[in-house]
Amino acid sequence: MGDGYTIPPIFWPTVVLPGILTMLPMAYPFIEARLTKDHRAHNLLQRPRDVPARTALGAMAIAFWLVLTLSGGNDVIADKFHISLNAMTWAGRIGLLVAPPLAYYITYRVCLGLQQHDREVLAHGVETGIIRRLPDGRFIEVHQPLAPVDEHGHGSLDYAGWVVPKKMNRVGALGPAIRGFFFPIEKPAEAPVSPGHPPVSPRPEREEITK
């Protein structure tokens, strides 16, 4: 370069590119807040499907990094798998331009599809797997509504970006706790036996639960 200084080619992939890949994730929250005009304090995590653009950008960055990683070892891959090194180089060049936008588009569409599925559950209810035949001969699946429905059978719940129940009789947002996961299940103490009364034996199903 000018003034008698020479920048070696290794400077760009080892100093410049890692610096950019490090600074962009650190600056992204401020960039997103400026673009969306949302400067509120967010203390609750958002599901990936509820922020499709952010999720798609993350998938795009992962695809970009993955192509660069594979391209960095293309000589070893070509030698071990007996692939043309020239073909590996061109695959890396094309993949670096094609893979990130493709990952963005696919991830974005998947997030929108998951949102649409949640809205259908809120509108029609949870699938029960029960098939009912109507008087006119049609077959429909019975749904368990999550809220009072109108005359058309649609619920009145709005999509709020939260977990939607997907199983029958499960209206809570969190999964059921697993008993005995962190602490062992203690066997209940036996009741004291009164004089003249035989001890009461536990039921078989109770023994199976406490074993």
Select the highest-mean-pLDDT range: 26-40, 136-150, 182-196.
26-40
pLDDT in tens, 52-103: 999 999 999 999 999 999 998 999 999 999 999 999 999 999 999 999 999 9
d(CA 156, CA 150): 8
Using pLDDT thresholds of 50, 70 and 90, give the confidence band for residue 123: confident
CB 47 within 8 A of CB 161: yes
Tell me the domain boundaries of the chain: 42-180
- C-alpha distances out from residue 47 to 29, 54, 108, 112, 134, Å: 16, 10, 13, 12, 39
Measured at the CA of 58, the angle between CA 78 and CA 109, to 5 degrees, comes to 100
Would you say residue 206 has pLDDT above 50? no
Would you say residue 110 has pLDDT above 60? yes
Nearest to 111 by CA among 40, 60, 39, 38: 60
Query: Would you say the pTM of this structure is higher than 0.75?
Result: no
d(CA 68, CA 60): 12
CB 157 within 8 A of CB 166: no
Provide the pLDDT for residue 210.
45
CB 112 within 8 A of CB 50: no
User: What pairs with residue 155 in β-bridges?
Assistant: 149
Give the residue, 12 or 185, on which the prediction is more confident. 12
Would you say residue 192 has pLDDT above 80? no
